[in-house]
Amino acid sequence: MKMRRTFGIGIVATLLLVLCFISFGSADPLVSKPGVYSGYSNVLYDGWVRSSQYVTVRDGTKIALDIYRPTLKGAVANTPYPVIFQQTQYRRSYYANGKLVLQGTNQTYVDFLTKYGYVFAVADARGIGASYGQRRGPWSREEAYDTYDIIEWLADQPWSNGNIGMWGLSYMGGTQVMAASTMPPHLKAIFPAQTPFDNYDELLTIIPANGPFGELSNAATDLTAAPVDADTVINSYGYPSMLYAAVQEHLPYYNSIQQLALSLGQTAPPYSSVGPAPYRDSYAPLAHSQYYYENSASTYLPEIKHSHVAVYNMGYWNNWLRRGSISAFENFRNPSKLILTATSSTPSFSFVSEHLRFFDYWLKGINNGIMGQPPIYYNTLTDGAEGTGWHYAWKWPLPNEKRTRYYLQAGPSGSTNPGVNDGVLSRTVPTGTSAQDDYTVFYGITPANQDAKGITYTTDPLTADMEITGHPVVHLWISSTQTDGDFVASLEEITAAGKATVVASGSLRASLRKIVFPPYNYMGLPWRRALEADEQKLTPGTPVELKFDLLPLSNVFSKGNRIRLTIVCDSSPNTPHLSPVPVVSIYRNMAMASYITLPVTTDPIRVRADVKPDMINLKSHGEFTVAITPPYRLGKGYGARDIDISTLRCNGAPAVRGTVERDTLIAKFNTQDLVGTSAGPAATFSVTGKFNYDIPFSGTDKVRVMK
């Protein structure tokens, strides 16, 4: 009876709140744009309470789970709410220096979102922390199905409304897309950040001899995990009994990864969590599978599509997994969005607000317009640091991208701190027949010495700002005195004072250079299948061409600065140190031209502009017409109906009105509003404007002008 009375009082209070809202309006204006969100969702609670328990999954393994439920003045919410779930390999909660550390609150997401009526749940992955079981490396199918079972368990709880979302970065991002591959009915939306799409592609073919993915946990760290609430019996070793029993199940895996590493000559952790796997089709001994196939999201594209889960991909320009976020956006056929920011803590952007905006739409059904906005939102850096320029886009690569070749040429460049050759990066096509640079490989490359110890090609100082957004691609003609080698290319911005900032890099092991057609959308970039059968050793002294993409970027190279391409042949500790030390030749002649293709995006989108009449009298007080036709191939968001007429200018004259006829905007201008237009038989009329969401375009036409 008491519960019923409390529930009735809650209904009355809610109705009064709704009536106040209707009568007086929301205190916050309705704003819904990336990183800025108000008026759609109200603060309902002032805190949370945590509980912890085991959930048993399909194979009988017990998974440790922390649950955070919202509270108001200490009272736990009884209303069913959406649940936002995360599975971690970093311990969901643990003790450090005698204090309890809650993994779920490290980034304030729990503190923030529970106030708006969300439940949070954080689980230790199997074989980690307080969970039972053994691992087979990150993102195994067992982990994926554990996630399925926990999602469905969460959906069935009385404090859950049945709508489940997921969030987290890096490993926790990967668990989300792998969960989607199992198609749990109640998983509605995920927000993976900094997440691999294809585990082999993200490693860029230069893989440690002992294997990828260093294991960060061990039995000692697992024993610091927080026990579940029911684990109250302390054993003779001084540990909670269930926690201790769980860690005993972890030991065979931890022992096996250490023993394998020691047998391969590795004497200190972190040890690979999967074991040696140099090729895409390698059988990884610790994962007991062809790891790159079984544990990559790219393998499960049909399943992810049929999950119907909405996906908000997030990448960071300073992180090596950013291409994976873009690849996921390009290949997932789900309702999708993509945001690309400077770092995971970009000051100008509220990540928690963006999560709330996304989850409000998909988990609470709040129509805040997020999915009607352009799917891509990205920050353009300036001089390699966070910039003030945020931009929308409807497609990737950007429609104004102009792929521009910069050739490797002889120096000197006149730049500060060049490499051992001091070459030039130039738009000029090579004309010689025998030009090359010889480089004795230096082992021991660091970020501090890579320019001085590497081989560099640098432009002249830029005469204007240059924006580069997209995927650079390197084409190198090389030979070596050895039968293999690693090649690492870095794109840098060099200031007048000589400061070098790496804005993108990429690498390739020469023996795995074979390029084939990719099994998914790789955005027109060179893709290497990298099977063991594809390995092609170098013949010493025989030139071959290497093609590989650098990680994507969006950066404004400032006027007066220079662009530099640095090439080294060491990716320590992953590169084997060959003896004798190889001498590498980089060819830069007419027959074997080496170059880098840069995606230059300085200029706006080009449209067709047709000015009528063909002859304009500047003394006329009439009107002239400009027919503006965007390229049809650009698709949604870039059509004639998407043009913001208020932004249209033609030689300084604003548009007075416009109508759309099929794929063309017919805009009218007053002749007397023209600025700086001279008489002549072929005067240039420049049209500028913006599509909706501030996306610029331009076009030109020539007409006869009279005075």
Q: For residue range 601-636, what is the model confidence (pLDDT) as tens digits?
A: 999 999 999 999 999 999 988 999 999 999 999 999
What is the reported pLDDT for 25?
40
Residue 238 lies in a domain: no
Pairwise pLDDT comparison (373 vs 384), residue with the higher score: 373
What is the reported pLDDT for 106?
61
pLDDT digit string (tens) for 648-683? 999 999 999 999 999 999 999 999 999 999 999 999
CATH number at residue 414: 2.60.120.260
The residue to which tokens 């990540």 are assigned: 351
* Res 21 pLDDT > 50: no
pLDDT-derived band of residue 20, with 50, 70 and 90 as boundaries?
A: very low
Find all residues with CB under 8 Å of 106, minimum gap 6, and list them. Answer: none
H-assigned helices in 223-269: 241-263
Do 593 and 627 share a domain, yes or no? no
Do 425 and 330 share a domain, yes or no? no
pLDDT-derived band of residue 68, with 50, 70 and 90 as boundaries?
A: very high
**% of the chain with per-residue pLDDT over 70:** 95
Mean pLDDT along residues 45-64: 97
Helices 141-155/171-180 angle, 10° precision = 70
pLDDT-derived band of residue 548, with 50, 70 and 90 as boundaries?
A: very high
Mean pLDDT along residues 305-312: 98
* Final residue of a structural domain among 393, 413, 435: 393
Q: How far apart are CA 232 and CA 241, in angstroms?
A: 8
pLDDT-derived band of residue 104, with 50, 70 and 90 as boundaries?
A: low
pLDDT digit string (tens) for 445-501? 999 999 999 999 999 999 999 999 999 999 999 999 999 999 999 999 999 999 999
pTM of the model: 0.93
Mean pLDDT along residues 567-593: 95
Do 388 and 408 share a domain, yes or no? no
Do 56 and 155 share a domain, yes or no? yes
Do 312 and 352 share a domain, yes or no? yes
pLDDT digit string (tens) for 177-194? 999 999 999 999 999 999
What is the reported pLDDT for 212?
87
What is the reported pLDDT for 108?
82
Q: How far apart are CA 32 and CA 30, in angstroms?
A: 7
* Res 19 pLDDT > 50: no
Owning domain of residue 68? 12-201+295-393
* Res 205 pLDDT > 80: no
Residue 248 lies in a domain: no
Mean pLDDT along residues 414-437: 95
C-beta separation of 175 from 141 below 8 A: no
CATH number at residue 632: 2.60.40.10
Do 434 and 334 share a domain, yes or no? no
Residue 218 lies in a domain: no
Residue 217 lies in a domain: no
* Res 295 pLDDT > 70: yes
Residue 406 lies in a domain: yes
Do 342 and 476 share a domain, yes or no? no
Domain count, the chain: 3
Strand ranges, E, within 291-432: 310-316, 336-341, 376-382, 385-393, 402-409, 423-426
